[in-house]
A and B are shown apart, each in its own frame.
Chain A
Amino acid sequence: MSTKRFFAAFLLVALIVAGFVSFYASGDPDGLSKVAEDRGFAAKEKEHSLSGSPLGDYGVKGVDDERLSGGLAGVIGVGLTLAVGGGLFWLVRRREPADTPS
């Protein structure tokens, strides 16, 4: 598989997982939340300072359809992570002197 095709396939898998499969994820509390509930320290949790964010709780504000809202949030999250991570890694990368166009 060519590198380009492989990268495209990897991205596609991430988009499908975040945009589609995520709808079927378990809604139960995760390990830490459950322990916090059972052991009585869940109440210590403070409201998230970004809970009013347009992407708060993995949904897009203003999109009422739950599947669409969550899927869109997932796709945006994948895009944001790729942009921030990819940008950072591209800046940090080792540059081969021979490959640098003059």
Chain B
Amino acid sequence: MHVPDGFFDAPVSIGAGVVAAAGIGVALRGARAELDDRTAPLAGLTAAFVFAAQMINFPVAAGTSGHLMGGALAAILVGPYTGLLCVSVVLLVQMFFADGGVTAYGINVTLMAVTGVLVAYGVFRLVTKVLPANRPAVTGASFLAAAVSVPASALVFVVLYAIGGTADIPLGTLTTAMLGVHVLIGLGEGLITAVTVGSVAAVRPDLVYGLRGTVRRPLEVRTAQPSGA
């Protein structure tokens, strides 16, 4: 869903830039509580994995493809604040690959990092409240959270386009077209997210943020430290 330069007028680009900056600011404060010596490297790797996964466009309909956005995946693996930062970092690096406009950075952060994470994490928390706190439930909740987050981002795109899109497109037509294709892309997003979260949860459940409070950290063999260290 990378928005290029030229799709939005200056006020919307700047407005979205303010939203993005506020989101990143809040996330920088919140991420401190999520990150420690163990989870900080995991968060860096999660961002790298999202970059990699975003290169994989999968076919969704005749002549159309989609790829992971990653907000759900990152939020569930490393926490919502850190997840928002992960996607924002990926979007920043992608500009050097000429993917996602420079003046559209705020729009892309608003759509994929802020909306993606807020919606995905909200759905994830709601579902895990109802379901028992175990691995299959978390995997299922990951699918649903990710699947819903993509059409949600598409809807926010439509709202922004209605305010300051550079072409005159009937709103109903745009909504139908954007929602239709992004519901399908959402299924792919859900599948990739569920497989990834499920795999990490299978080998290291203690590292999965979304499983926090449900698993105890396994005992680790550590080398002895000299006293006074």
Contacts and interface: CB of A to CB of B under 8 A. Distances in A.
Interface of A: 1-3, 6-7, 10-11, 13-15, 17-18, 21-22, 25-32, 34-36, 38-41, 44-51, 53, 55-58, 73-74, 77-82, 84-90, 92-94, 96, 99, 101
Given A35-B177, A85-B47, A48 B90 contact: no
Given A11-B45, A22-B56, A39 B174 contact: yes
Given A35-B181, A39-B177, A26 B51 contact: no
B105 to A, nearest CB: 11
5 contacts: A3-B204, A25-B65, A28-B59, A38-B177, A81-B89
A48 B5 contact: yes
Interface of B: 1-7, 28, 31-33, 35-53, 55-60, 63-67, 82, 85-86, 89-90, 92-99, 101-102, 154, 157, 165-167, 169, 173-174, 177-178, 181-182, 184-185, 200, 203-204, 207, 220, 229
Contacts of B35: 89, 92-94
Given A86-B41, A90-B40, A32 B102 contact: no
Nearest to B199: A13
A24 to B, nearest CB: 8
Given A45-B4, A46-B6, A51 B98 contact: yes
B174 A48 contact: no
A25 B52 contact: no
B7 A41 contact: yes
Nearest to A35: B177
B98 A56 contact: yes
A22 B57 CA distance: 8
Given A28-B59, A88-B89, 10 more contacts: A10-B49, A18-B55, A28-B57, A51-B98, A53-B96, A56-B97, A84-B89, A86-B43, A92-B40, A93-B35
Q: Which of A46, A50, A86, A92 has most chain B Cβ within 10 Å?
A: A92
A32 B99 CA distance: 13
Select the residue from A1, A21, A26, A87 with max chain B CB neighbours within 10 A.
Answer: A26
Contacts of A46: 4-6, 101
B174 A58 contact: no
B93 A84 contact: yes
Contacts of B154: 31
Contact of B44 (A21, A53, A89): A89
A15 B2 contact: no
Contacts of A96: 36-37
A25 B56 contact: yes
B45 to A, nearest CB: 5
A89 B56 CA distance: 25
Given A15-B52, A92-B28, A94-B36, A30 B96 contact: no
Contact of A93 (B40, B86, B184): B40
B40 A86 contact: yes
